[in-house]
Amino acid sequence: MKNYFSIAKSTNSLYRDKCILKSGIPTKFSKMIPNGYLIFEDESFLDSTVAKMNALRKSGQFCDVRLQVCGHELMAHRAVLACCSPYLFEIFNSDNEPHGVSHVTFEDLDPEAVEILLNYAYTAQLKADKELVKEVYSAAKRFKMERVKQICGDYLLSKMDCQNAISFRNFASSMGDARVLAKVDAFIQDHLLEVSEQEDFLKLPRLKLEVMLEDNLTLPSNGKLYSKVLNWVQRSLWENGDQLERLMEEVQTLYYSPDHKLVDGGLVIEGHSEVFGGEEDHLQFVQKRPVRESTQRQMSCSSSGSLSPSNQAANTPKQTARREWKYIASEKTTNNTYLCLAVLDGVLCVIFLHGRSSPQTSPSATPCLMKSLSFEAQPEELEDQPLSPMHYARSGLGTAALNGKLIAAGGYNREECLRTVECYDPKEDRWSFIAPMRTPRARFQMAVLMGQLYVIGGSNGHSDELSCGERYDPHTDEWTQVPELRTNRCNAGVSSLNNKLYVVGGSDPCGQKGLKNCDAFDPVTKTWSNCASLNIRRHQAAVCELDGFMYVIGGAESWNCLNSVERYNPENNTWTMIAPMNVARRGAGVAVHAGKLFVVGGFDGSHALRCVEVYDPARNEWRMLGSMTTSRSNAGVAMLGETIYAVGGFDGNEFLNTVEVYNAETDEWNDCAKALTPLSD
């Protein structure tokens, strides 16, 4: 008997229906349209096909690649692996004999972990014993399988407890996983005393400090205290040529003076110290002895990797930042006794600190500055430590200044869009987390309106552009939804102007060309309205307000970068073309300082940019300024106090978590903490 169709005509003139097979089992069909096309989706076909392909792999049939993993040979199909692993795709794509059998060798991966990844590549199912998860993570990192890395990282975090927290941190640090590392550190901060009782913690190297105090003094709060301690250790390594291991061999005696300065206590008492000081909240360093010539040579050669005055100048900012110095957590265990976990020169260490009353021979204040000849022969001023980086590398993020702090929200790191939001305190040179956004998003801009932060549109990395927006209230530390845009919008400019929020330009839903759209949001009526359209289609433009006007700067029309600039007058709802920039750029940042526009970095169609230029509205002209220390496209740029900050972005090779600042008086960019301009209280 032949199969036959039972067809019923629907009310909308489209045909729906069932195909009744001889077995009597109905099979679902999609709509059939009158012109004769048939659309059918077989839900079981994909599962059946991948199962068969995996069976072929395991039997070695039709395989055209062999993975040699620590003496084990694993067969597979190039096309399947290339689709799942960007790393293997690059290898296969560069093969001079694409039709031959490829051999790829890995001597440092676990064969079982690689087999698990192969099964995942064919079945989309990740199955690993808990003992193998770290090995799977390591293999996924090599293969650049970011989704598997994330899943393994989340699994490890779910299994973390006080007993294994140090082990997990060491693993996350070795993998360079900032996301997992930040969560492990947050756990340790909440459970430091319990963690400190575990075997892994007890095996860590430790630095013992005895801090002498005047009778009427107490040690500062944990954060400020250990900021001073870390700086003291840095100076001991960099200026004196000490080794970290030597500092840990015996108890180090320090002195906390009445004017809140931390110095080498033993030498202060003996009267042999020379103190080189700064402001009240900054470290005071005591030079113990003239640096020997042999030590100077050792510092210059930097065989140990420690930074010094002589080799810092030769190091790029990126190289300097690789040596991690980080305060993680501390607890006051007894009266004037503290326990701290920190990273010193890349080494995870425990710091024990005990405060005690100083002998009567202790001075009542820090000795005055007296420069020795040996010190004057060295550079007059040491290069300061790098500004603290964000916990996450971020590109396409939203950035704004709020209540004297710098806010960095969302963005993407490789393929992952972020929800997390970080807050930078310039007084502490420290990043901390605030409430995450409700929606992961990147390629958006952020603005402050009536004391609250607004983010609108962007992309979540998994679907089309977003139309949703949200508002952050710093008083409640909460994000709430705001009415959606009428169209999805990605790479749009956002700015506040006259108590309204403006969204300008952006990408069309297909992401192929820029938009002319301009919309305004009224926070009182909670409604959107249309404004005059731009003269030129733009996406990834920099947008900001200055003296009652709104400026949209550069961007791209399709993929062609623009140097043109438009100015919006809200009084007559018109856009006017003004003088173009010297450099065409998209994905640039903009900040307002002293009545001028500072446009920073971006992408010129070929390269991420370091160059910066400033617009003077009184002259209607642009001029070039000093370049950044690092190329940055899609970075966050904001004005905080009298300082312009550039954070994150993409340098053409890596996603960045670094920070640098601009001093308008010297026309210089700097990535060191000493470059910060103090904020007035």
pLDDT over 60 (residue 614): yes
Q: Kindly state which CATH superfamily the domain 46-158 is placed in.
A: Potassium Channel Kv1.1; Chain A (3.30.710.10)
Q: What is the pLDDT of residue 309?
A: 27
DSSP class of 584 = -
Q: How far apart are CA 533 and CA 510, in angstroms?
A: 20
Q: What is the pLDDT of residue 512?
A: 61
Correct CATH for 398-675 of 2.120.10.80, 3.30.450.20, 2.60.40.420, 3.40.50.10860 = 2.120.10.80
Section 327-351 average pLDDT: 84
Within the chain, which residue ranges are assigned CATH 3.30.710.10? 46-158
State which H helix or E strand residue 76 sits in: strand 72-76
Q: How far apart are CA 394 and CA 446, in angstroms?
A: 14
pLDDT band for 378, please (50, 70, 90 cuts).
very low
Nearest partner of 633 among 567, 542, 523, judged by Cα? 542
Reported as a single tens digit per residue, the pLDDT across 169-228 is 999 999 988 899 999 999 998 898 889 888 888 889 988 888 877 666 666 666 677 777
Q: What is the pLDDT of residue 15?
A: 36
Q: How far apart are CA 629 and CA 669, in angstroms?
A: 6
Structure tokens at 255: 């002195």
Residue type, 126: L
Residue with the bigger pLDDT between 283 and 92: it is 92
Structure tokens at 504: 């300008």
pLDDT band for 321, please (50, 70, 90 cuts).
very low
Within the chain, which residue ranges are assigned CATH 2.120.10.80? 398-675
* Cβ contact 27:19 at 8 Å: yes
Structure tokens at 410: 């969302």
Q: How far apart are CA 141 and CA 179, in angstroms?
A: 14
Q: What is the pLDDT of residue 365?
A: 36
Q: What is the pLDDT of residue 4?
A: 34
pLDDT band for 265, please (50, 70, 90 cuts).
low
Reported as a single tens digit per residue, the pLDDT across 381-435 is 434 678 999 988 999 999 999 999 999 999 988 657 889 999 999 988 899 999 9
Q: How far apart are CA 70 and CA 109, in angstroms?
A: 7
Q: How far is CA 398 from CA 1, 443, 446, 498, 649, in A?
A: 66, 8, 5, 21, 11
Least confident span in 144-153, 316-325, 393-402: 316-325
pLDDT over 60 (residue 244): yes
Q: What pTM value is reported for the model?
A: 0.48
Residue with the bigger pLDDT between 581 and 41: it is 581
Reported as a single tens digit per residue, the pLDDT across 341-350 is 999 888 999 9
Structure tokens at 117: 């990844």
Q: What is the pLDDT of residue 38?
A: 82
Least confident span in 28-32, 47-51, 355-359, 507-511: 28-32
Residues whose CB falls within 8 Å of the CB of residue 156, separated by 6 or more in sequence, listed in order: 133, 134, 137, 168, 171, 180
Structure tokens at 157: 């975090």
Q: Measured between alpha carbons, how far apart are the two ends of the chain, in Å?
A: 90
